Structure 1
Amino acid sequence: MENNSSVSGGDHLVYLCDWPNFETVIGAIFILIFILSVIGNSLILCILTCYENLNDVTNLFFLNLACSDLVFTITLPFYTVYSLHHWVFGDVACKFLTSAYFVGIYSSVILLTAMTVDRFITVVLNWPRNPVKRRRYAIGACAGAWVISIASSLRDAMAVKVEAFDENTFSCEASSETSENNLDYYLQTSLLFFLPFAIIIFCYSAILKTVLTTANRQRRRTVVVVLCIVAAFFICWGPYNTFILISTLYKPVGCYEEERFYIAYSVCRVLAYSHCCMNALLYMLSQKMRRHLLSLLHCENTRRSIRDRGTGQSSSVIQNAAITAQNSADILELKSN
């Protein structure tokens, strides 16, 4: 239902549009994404720590990516409440959750870029041959990803604050003073999204060319898994970042245009937020990961059944031995009589 009324907002008109129940659907999707992400990434962390060698560079990147997804995931329940109601968590939580939101995004893209560059150096350049040196570089890249993402998120956290629409309604948005000058924000977005995207395209073009000419099936599987993870990130976040850039050039006028514009924004946002549970699903492309997951989910039942089977077998052996001994005693007694 569309409300076509408008009010004067200085030198322009502000249209008052309302789309009931739309935010309820978005909130329900966010909660579903939150549940899937917590379960999936927690299982990945358990599998990596229990079954995998964390000295392996690829596993190290996967571990950090799962942590990055979880950092982003913890913000979803708060933004769900915000979209359904208004900001009720105060100014400190506003800044902290904004920082966590951007840390999750920035760290993911930096880690994915570092993982791709590592694949490029290993597959195409065949360097470094020393695994210890390669592991040190990977640890440095992961540490650098977290430092850069945290430092970059501080600017976003300082830009937001809680503002009151009226006595009982609050928002957690960038202040009007900082939102008027968005050049630094879009420069940061370009550096931390579009530049890594260009680097990844270049690296994977060379990687695929090299891998397709080799017969190493294990190397091909690893490259395919990493490629799917990288592609999923840019498929999910690409439309959202592109839409944000378009929104600076085009402003909808009237309720009809605003509704269409907002629906497109919401679809892009849901697609972007769903990325935090995508990696856990893509990890299952690896047969080894699926085997570890089954071992993790069935380990207790398996141990219990083995223990019960062993106990049952021991009891049967004891019972058979006792019966045999009793029969032997009866035979000897009959012979003596």
Structure 2
Amino acid sequence: MSDGDDNTSLDVVYYCDEMFGFETISGAFFILIFIFSLTGNILLLCVLFFYENLRNVTNIFILNLAFSDLVFTVTLPFWATYHLHHWVFGDFFCKFMTAAYVAGSYCSIILLTAMTVDRFITVVLHWPGNPVRRQRCAMLSCAAAWLISIAASVSDAIKVGEETDWNNVSRCEFSSGGSDVDLGYYLQMSLLFFLPFAIIVFCYSAILKTVVQTSNRKSHHTVVVVLCIVAAFFICWGPYNTIIFVQSLYKPEGCYEYDNLYIAYSICRILAFSHCCMNPLLYMLSKKLRGHFSQLLHCENARKKKRERGTGPITSVIQNVAFIAQNSAVVLDLPSQ
């Protein structure tokens, strides 16, 4: 190799190393997303447990979505440390955090698909059916979502591990398994992202067509909230999955191309990871949930219980008198035999 070639090679390595600055930006964003997501989803879970009916089908899905977001969220400090420094947590946590990351993201898309199908059956097909049976179907759907996402996460966790590169820096990366491993990964991604996307687009096309023809404002509001939740997921995760698919087809020939592709990838990754703190904000579209959030933050429920304890005996007497009077009225209204 000539001296000119050596200089070119050195320039390429030096120019590529400049991209490490974007790693620091990504790590800082991951910490911010972690703080907002942890706070928002814990508040959402408190609202669901204290104020909402957990037997409601939509609330069952929202509850599981909040848990899946939290599973994804707990991995963010580890990825932030990885980008700000390098992987310092060992091989086991490399696999475990990858599994949690994959399980949280895949579980969200499966749950959103199930929510959309439930809306489709209710609004378009008009199959409200037995409420108990519908609740059981929702619970089974959530259980299936967790099982499928955990199975996918175990498959991915097997393929990752802690590796040390040429300058003795530890990384948590996918092992180089060849084209068969890459094909399996992209096939899994297609089945667990693009297929649900196609199902959701089909269902919501029919839902919106039906809703436009009806005048039930309550139904309109529920559909709009669910639509916003689904749209936020695809706006956040769509570009990220698309650029991963592009990376499988396009290999940059030089550092300039790699530079541009990596910047696009990093921005899309930050957008995708920010989704875990979006759902609590979207639930604020519901006036009822906004009221619950306000009560929770101002501890109004505690004050209400305190007032009830202060007037407990009097209230209890009044309720007993009302109950006796109601029963007497029922007896008087009975027809003579």
TM-score between the two structures when normalised by the length of structure 2: 0.85
Match of 1:144 in 2: 144
Give the counterpart letter for 2:85 in structure 1. Answer: H
SS in 1 for 2:253: coil
Match of 1:259 in 2: 259
Counterpart check, 1:79 vs 2:82: no
- Give % identity: 66
Give the counterpart letter for 1:122 in structure 2. Answer: T
Match of 2:135 in 1: 135
Task: Report the number of matched residues.
Answer: 302
Conserved 8 A contact 1:30-1:77:
yes
Give the counterpart letter for 1:42 in structure 2. Answer: I
* Cα displacement (A) at 1:268: 0.5
Match of 2:335 in 1: none
- Greater per-residue helix proportion: 2
Conserved 8 A contact 1:94-1:161:
yes
Conserved 8 A contact 1:71-1:101:
yes
Counterpart check, 1:291 vs 2:305: no
Counterpart check, 1:93 vs 2:96: no
Give the counterpart letter for 1:87 in structure 2. Answer: W
Match of 1:217 in 2: 217
Conserved 8 A contact 2:295-2:301:
no
Conserved 8 A contact 1:5-1:15:
no
CA RMSD between the two structures:
2.2
* Cα displacement (A) at 1:255: 2.4
Match of 1:117 in 2: 117
Return structure 1 stretches of 4+ with deviation > 3 angstroms. Answer: 13-16, 178-181
Moved more, 167-176 or 43-52: 167-176
Counterpart check, 1:56 vs 2:79: no
Give the counterpart letter for 2:104 in structure 1. Answer: G
What do residues 204-248 of structure 1 show as CA deviations (whole Å, max 9, x unaligned)? 011111111111111110000000000000111000001001011
SS in 2 for 1:95: helix
Q: Which runs of 5+ in 1 are unaligned?
A: 8-12, 311-337
SS in 1 for 2:112: helix
* Cα displacement (A) at 1:28: 1.2
What do residues 84-116 of structure 1 show as CA deviations (whole Å, max 9, x unaligned)? 111100000000000000001110000000000
Change over 3 Å in CA distance of 1:92–1:284 after alignment to 2:
same
Match of 1:329 in 2: none
Match of 1:201 in 2: 201
Conserved 8 A contact 1:164-1:171:
yes
Match of 2:28 in 1: 28
Conserved 8 A contact 1:159-1:178:
no
Conserved 8 A contact 1:53-1:59:
yes
Match of 2:324 in 1: none
**Max Rg structure:** 1
* Cα displacement (A) at 1:167: 6.8
Counterpart check, 1:6 vs 2:16: no
Change over 3 Å in CA distance of 1:179–1:99 after alignment to 2:
farther
Conserved 8 A contact 1:15-1:255:
no
What do residues 122-171 of structure 1 show as CA deviations (whole Å, max 9, x unaligned)? 11111142111111100000000000000111110000011111474111
Give the counterpart letter for 1:51 in structure 2. Answer: Y
Give the counterpart letter for 1:185 in structure 2. Answer: Y
Change over 3 Å in CA distance of 1:301–1:44 after alignment to 2:
closer
Q: Which runs of 5+ in 2 are unaligned?
A: 1-6, 311-337
SS in 2 for 1:162: strand
Match of 2:37 in 1: 37
* Cα displacement (A) at 1:24: 1.9
State the distance in 2 between where 1:265 and 1:248 align.
Answer: 13
TM-score between the two structures when normalised by the length of structure 1: 0.85
SS in 2 for 1:284: helix
Conserved 8 A contact 2:55-2:135:
yes
Give the counterpart letter for 1:203 in structure 2. Answer: C
Conserved 8 A contact 1:15-1:254:
no
Match of 2:173 in 1: 173
State the distance in 2 between where 1:302 and 1:140 align.
Answer: 35
Conserved 8 A contact 1:6-1:16:
no
Change over 3 Å in CA distance of 1:14–1:168 after alignment to 2:
closer
Match of 1:326 in 2: none
* Cα displacement (A) at 1:121: 0.4
What do residues 34-81 of structure 1 show as CA deviations (whole Å, max 9, x unaligned)? 100000000100000100000000000000000000000011110011
